[in-house]
Amino acid sequence: MKTFTKSLWFIAVSALASNAGAAVINFDATYGLANAQTAETAFLANTIDHLDEDFEGFTGPGVDNGTDQGSWIEAASYFDTAVGRFTMTVPSTNLSNGNISPELLMIEDENTGEFGRVSTTPNQWLDSNDADEVTWDILTGNYNAFGFYLSDANDQGASLILKFADGSVSESLSLTSPLGNGNIAYFSLFSDVAFTSASLVFDNGVGDNDGWGIDGITLAKVPEPGTLALLGLGLAGLSIARRRKS
């Protein structure tokens, strides 16, 4: 309970500190498997109404030609998932890695997947197939928080941009890993407004042919941001009153 209270206080203060045009109030990146798992546990403990996607339900015909770029469980230009649609927006513009299907996203596992990309759930993940840009149209439902694992998180300079239905756009949030190839991270984000027709954009930059695998995605909710702001004001007032009394 103490941990949850501290989290609510942090979110409330962050909401008070944010300006009217800034919807993102907390974005966190935690690197290394053990640390990432701890971050996921904390995220799940401090949010409610979880909606999860682990990509285990995809069982396409599969293709295996003996190379990681040419093998997959299922491949398509987009995938509809429990947390929304992932779409190949801009394929890789650098084909020197021998990619035979750059226009497709892929569901992969440890047998078909590329080096350094691993699943945090039993086996499968969604692979970017070295795309320059992939868009995630988040499932609507008044969700204002999400968390996910990113394996082999791009060392070429990937970023995340959150777009809202009212046309506002978040600042560029870095997905670049300080650990180089083969790393894994857990990313979590809280917003002061619900995600409605929002998109996440993963951008590797023109000409780069590095990518990522995404897994263990959770859409979630935290208490009404307005309520948290009032809570923050109340706690701040109590703190001031106590100092004056002292």
Q: Distance between CA atoms of 37 and 12, rounded to whole angstroms?
A: 25
Residue labelled with tokens 């992932």: 86
Please write the tens of the pLDDT for every residue from 144-177: 899 999 988 766 677 888 876 667 778 888 887 7
Pick the residue with more confidence: 233 or 56?
56
Q: Distance between CA atoms of 206 and 242, rounded to whole angstroms?
A: 56
* Whether 47 contacts 221, CB under 8 Å: yes
Phi-psi label, residue 36: left if phi above 0, alpha if psi -120 to 50, beta otherwise: alpha
Residue 191: what pLDDT?
A: 84
Q: Distance between CA atoms of 74 and 174, rounded to whole angstroms?
A: 29
Instruction: Calculate what percentage of the chain has a pLDDT beyond 70.
Output: 70
**Phi, psi (5° rounding) for residue 40?**
-65, -45
Please write the tens of the pLDDT for every residue from 72-117: 999 999 999 999 999 999 888 766 655 668 889 999 998 888 777 8
* Whether 211 contacts 129, CB under 8 Å: yes
Domain count, the chain: 1
Residue 212: what pLDDT?
A: 86
**CATH number, domain with residue 190:** 2.60.120
Question: What integer best gives the mean pLDDT of the chain?
Answer: 76
Q: Distance between CA atoms of 92 and 106, rounded to whole angstroms?
A: 14
Please write the tens of the pLDDT for every residue from 19-39: 344 567 788 999 988 999 999
Contacts of 118 (CB under 8 A, 6+ apart): 110, 125, 151, 184, 213
* Whether 212 contacts 187, CB under 8 Å: no
Map residue 159 onto helix, strand or coil.
Answer: strand
Q: Distance between CA atoms of 155 and 47, rounded to whole angstroms?
A: 30
Q: pTM of the predicted model, to two decimals?
A: 0.79
Instruction: Identify the domain containing residue 127 by its residue range.
Output: 2-245
Question: DSSP strand E in 77-198: where?
Answer: 78-81, 84-90, 105-108, 125-127, 133-138, 145-151, 159-163, 173-174, 184-191
